[in-house]
A and B are shown apart, each in its own frame.
Chain A
Amino acid sequence: DGGITQSPKYLFRKEGQNVTLSCEQNLNHDAMYWYRQDPGQGLRLIYYSQIVNDFQKGDIAEGYSVSREKKESFPLTVTSAQKNPTAFYLCASQGERGMNEQFFGPGTRLTVL
């Protein structure tokens, strides 16, 4: 079954802690993306990676970090430097090059206590 998985589904964090959100895909897609969604808002791009061992900052990268050591995996770390981390985090991968279609995982809802 091809798809994108994210874990955990819900995550609670204390202030000052770093947390890592997992994103895995078995679609053989090259490009992967992390978005943040706040209530009533559109999706804002945090980081993206078009190829293994390379990634670029999106529009709101401050307080986040990523790695892309394997094609299938693109984990996101929310650091203590992120001032308002409570949000719905969505990972996506992009299919056929040139078509730009992105497909989303189920998301992780992060709450800072």
Chain B
Amino acid sequence: QKEVEQNSGPLSVPEGAIASLNCTYSDRGSQSFFWYRQYSGKSPELIMSIYSNGDKEDGRFTAQLNKASQYVSLLIRDSQPSDSATYLCAVNFYGNNRLAFGKGNQVVVIP
């Protein structure tokens, strides 16, 4: 069973701090990794894609991928109240055209 795990409970961070989210996956052959942001009652929005080991930065977001350890993380710098949402990790497992999603991590930014 190919799985994507997001084990942390809700994350509360003060405004301006760094929020750190982690995701592990079961298939060592995975190729593509994504972070989605989902506001309550809305559909997921793609915020980061990462395909190779290392860091990828886009504005206040940084995705970090370590294929050897099979984890991908998302850092949100200078957290804003508008970052309060659920963040979904998604992985494309090798050999198919599907994504597997984690259950998500809720982030609450406290003003």
A45 to B104, CA, bound (A): 16
A90 in contact (CB, < 8 A): yes
A58 in contact (CB, < 8 A): yes
A111 to B103, CA, bound (A): 22
Interface residues of B: mostly helix, strand, loop or mixed? Answer: strand
Instruction: Known contacts A42-B88, A43-B44, A106-B43; decide if A100 and B101 are in contact (CB<8 Å).
Output: no
Interface residues on B, range: 20 to 34
Interface residues on A, range: 20 to 34
Return chain A residues, CB-CB under 8 Å to B49. Answer: 99, 101
A82 to B19, CA, bound (A): 39
Q: Count CB-based A-B contacts (< 8 Å).
A: 49
Return chain A residues, CB-CB under 8 Å to B92. Answer: 100
Which A positions have Cβ atoms within 8 angstroms of B?
A: 31, 33, 40-43, 45, 48, 50, 58, 90, 94, 99-107
Interface pairs (29), CB distance under 8 Å: A31-B97, A42-B4, A42-B102, A42-B104, A43-B88, A43-B101, A45-B98, A45-B99, A50-B97, A58-B98, A90-B44, A94-B97, A99-B32, A99-B49, A99-B51, A100-B31, A100-B32, A100-B99, A101-B32, A101-B46, A101-B49, A102-B34, A102-B90, A102-B99, A103-B46, A104-B45, A105-B43, A106-B42, A107-B42
- Give me the 8 closest cross-chain CB pairs, A-B, nearest first: A100-B92, A42-B101, A100-B32, A42-B103, A104-B43, A43-B101, A107-B43, A104-B44
Which B positions have Cβ atoms within 8 angstroms of A?
A: 4, 31-32, 34, 36, 42-46, 49, 51, 88, 90, 92, 97-99, 101-104
